[in-house]
Amino acid sequence: MDKEHDDVLNVINSVKVQQQSVLEKLVCEKEQLEAELDILSIHRILAESSGTEIKVEKGIPEEALKLDCPEEKLKESVLNEFHLLDKKYEAHLEFLDLKYKNVLL
């Protein structure tokens, strides 16, 4: 019985370590993406102030829509993730526009 208990505790500890590792990677990726969005927003602000416009493409990339995938559910799942990322991206751009709106004034 103690052996089974120890095995379960070892599995739980292993999962906790793996979870922590994944969370750390996600936080790092989130920070990198936010930095990229900040840079893009600053470039947009600078372009607007100089009279040039930066085109930001929205929506699911055409390449993803044309992607050949043997499993329709997998393709649908990937396209749904693109859609969610697009919505988050748009929301963050709006946030950055509000955050830096005074820079243009």
Instruction: Calculate the alpha carbon distances from 87 to 2, 60, 83 in Å.
Output: 50, 10, 6
Query: Phi and psi (nearest 5°) for 68?
Result: -85, 125
Judge if pTM exceeds 0.75: no
Q: What is the pLDDT of residues 27-79, one digit of tens each?
A: 988 888 888 877 777 766 666 666 655 566 677 878 878 878 888 888 888 88
DSSP SS3 for 85: helix
Query: Phi and psi (nearest 5°) for 36?
Result: -65, -40
Q: Which DSSP letter does residue 65 get?
A: H
CB 79 within 8 A of CB 64: yes
